[in-house]
Structure 1
Amino acid sequence: MIRIISILVGAFFSAALLWSFGTGAASFIKEPPAATAEKLFHEHPKAIHFASDGAFGKFDNQQLQRGFKVYKEVCANCHALKHVAFRDLKAIGYNDDEVKAIAKGFQIPVYNPATGELNTREGLPTDRFPPVLYAGQGNPPDLSLITKARHGGGAYVASLLTGYAEQAGYKNAKGQELLKLFPDAKTPDGLYFNPYFANLNLAMPAPLAADDQVTYTDGTKATVAQMSEDVSAFLIWTAEPKLDKRKQTGWAVVGFLLFATALAYMAYRNIWAGKKGH
């Protein structure tokens, strides 16, 4: 009896699920969701290769230092790196004196509980990057984990930085013109059109608007595309500074497991050899 009841209950829920699916599918066919500007004109990140990509990828310290220079001279005006300490920069090739000099260039807020005053002091290697007091529109996100928080990671950041465009006459890959299909989708005043951003408009103006905004000490040409990729690579590192070590550990573990598997198989063959069938 219990088995029959269980079968009937299962059949009921299966039928309800099929009915719900059929109703939803029929509704979707009869009344498909309306196309929106975001659906038709939002671009996926470009296919950009970084040195750290893949199982064998490793960070390029020279690129990371270029990316840090872009962050420091351009991005740090609005965006913080609250999860990164100055001494962490030693991992990308800076020595102790260079780290001290970098930290000294930042002002660290210090609260005095006795007087209630908020003062500042020069940074120390043990300090984290200080918060940014931004007076403009919006609330710029902290960039420490931005490549983990956004689909596409570093490729998304680089695409966004190079993706600003004039909205008038903008067409997608299918040749559809945005403002002809959606006249009401015009970018509001104070915002900037960028098809790589989820809703196509964002408050941040193009931070890398021209070549040579920074001067690279290694002689690399500081084009907008190069600066965008370099700072994106740096932000991949800030989000996962132990990536290289994690990959090394992973390969060591895989090698050990393969060795242990082979050893276990040989032990099995040795112990049970000639004993099958008895």
Structure 2
Amino acid sequence: MKSLLVLMFSGQRTPVNSLANMSFATLPRNKKVALTTLGVVTAGGVGLALMLHQSVKASDLELHPPQYPWSHAGPLSSLDHASIRRGYQVYKQVCSACHSMDYLAFRNLVGVSHTEAEVKAIAEEVEVVDGPDESGEMFTRPGKLSDYFPKPYPNPEAARAANNGALPPDLSYIVNARHGGEDYVFSLLTGYCDPPAGVTVREGLYYNPYFPGQAIGMAPPIYNEVLEYDDGTPATMSQVAKDVCTFLRWAAEPEHDQRKRMGLKMLMGSAILIPLIYYMKRHRWSVLKSRKIAYRPPK
């Protein structure tokens, strides 16, 4: 190292290959010790950070949801639209009593789970406050395709008062807003159980190991035969949870199928264009890349 510095400061040029050939074995002892210490400290810091992250992320009584084999989880898999239709029925008959979906309109169901005539009939079942009319008065009318899903409560304060102080979250993007996505929602819906020994749950709360804090204010919303599907599918607890999770996935990501179709088209187009571009590059630059340039020293 000293000889290298002497050569550099003496004005002599050092070949680049000599710098590239320098290895850890040729370094002085003190530099070896410094680099080794730096590597150990860095690795220890990364390991400690990962351990602290895991300790904060999970507690002894909180379970992480397992990964379920969803039919739409594959890179080329689409959503089960029959399950979306059943999931909407679950939301309408079970979930809509407490949870809103402020960002979903009736028109969004057309062509996805229902026909236009069916959605119009569903929307007309809802009384919507509209106005003012010519006399300045508000009036009610049947719902239309452009109307959004009705809210169960007029404001958050009324929602808290009806649920012992707990505010039911909006379900429009709940799948994207929770770690684990539909795996978490499915595990939460089917994970109600009795608290373990030594754990007490305050009155009005329910024990659920998948919920942060394990105490949730929502009573078990689904059970076997909680409703009767229009298509005759057996309404078991797991089937109901699967259908409503599929519906919530579509609600949070309505472009799911279109995005995958566009990705497939892009891959097919790339499979054709990339070889052509590579061939043109080789053909265009083959002459320039194969030239040999020789410099003649001046006489």
Fold shared, TM-score > 0.5 on shorter chain: yes
Q: How does 1:60-139 map to 2 (within 5 A)?
A: 60-110=80-130, 112=132, 120-133=140-153, 134=159, 135-137=162-164, 138-139=166-167
How far apart, CA to CA, are the structure 2 residues paired with 1:79 and 1:107?
18
- Equivalent position to 2:64, from 9, 30, 44: 44
Equivalent residue letter for 2:188:
L
Equivalent residue letter for 1:74:
V
- 2:210 is the alignment partner of 1:196: yes
CA contact (8 A) 1:100 1:125 kept: yes
- 2:220 is the alignment partner of 1:206: yes
Q: CA deviation at 1:219?
A: 2.0
- 2:190 is the alignment partner of 1:162: yes
CA contact (8 A) 2:133 2:139 kept: no
How far apart, CA to CA, are the structure 2 residues paired with 1:141 and 1:257?
42
Partner of 1:217: 230
Which secondary structure state, in structure 1, belongs to the residue aligned with residue 79 of structure 2? coil
Q: Deviations over 1:175-195 (max 9, x none)?
A: xxxx2xxxxx52111111100
Residues paired across the two proteins, number = 238
How far apart, CA to CA, are the structure 2 residues paired with 1:107 and 1:48?
39
Q: Pick which of 39-48 and 108-117 moved more.
A: 108-117
Q: CA deviation at 1:132?
A: 1.8
Q: Deviations over 1:224-274 (max 9, x none)?
A: 111011101100000001100011111212332333221111112222345
Partner of 1:227: 240
1:119 to 1:213, Cα distance in 2 relative to 1, 3 A: farther
Q: CA deviation at 1:162?
A: 0.4
CA contact (8 A) 1:192 1:201 kept: yes
1:201 to 1:101, Cα distance in 2 relative to 1, 3 A: same
Relative contact order, CA 8 A, sep 6+: which one is greater?
1
CA contact (8 A) 1:109 1:130 kept: no
How far apart, CA to CA, are the structure 1 residues paired with 2:195 and 2:213?
13
How far apart, CA to CA, are the structure 2 residues paired with 1:119 and 1:191?
40
Partner of 1:251: 264
Which runs of 5 or more residues in structure 2 are unaligned? 1-37, 154-158, 293-299
CA contact (8 A) 1:167 1:193 kept: yes
1:261 to 1:90, Cα distance in 2 relative to 1, 3 A: same
CA contact (8 A) 1:192 1:204 kept: yes
Q: Deviations over 1:65-111 (max 9, x none)?
A: 11111110000000111111101111323111100111122233436
How far apart, CA to CA, are the structure 2 residues paired with 1:130 and 1:118?
17
- 2:69 is the alignment partner of 1:56: no
CA contact (8 A) 1:162 1:225 kept: yes
Equivalent residue letter for 2:179:
H
Partner of 2:19: none
CA contact (8 A) 1:160 1:196 kept: yes
Partner of 2:21: none
How far apart, CA to CA, are the structure 2 residues paired with 1:250 and 1:159?
30
Q: RMSD in angstroms over aligned alpha carbons?
A: 3.0
CA contact (8 A) 1:165 1:194 kept: yes
Partner of 1:11: none
The percentage of aligned residue pairs carrying the same residue is 36
Q: Deviations over 1:122-164 (max 9, x none)?
A: 2111111122213222111110100000011111111100000
Q: CA deviation at 1:41?
A: 1.2
- 2:175 is the alignment partner of 1:147: yes
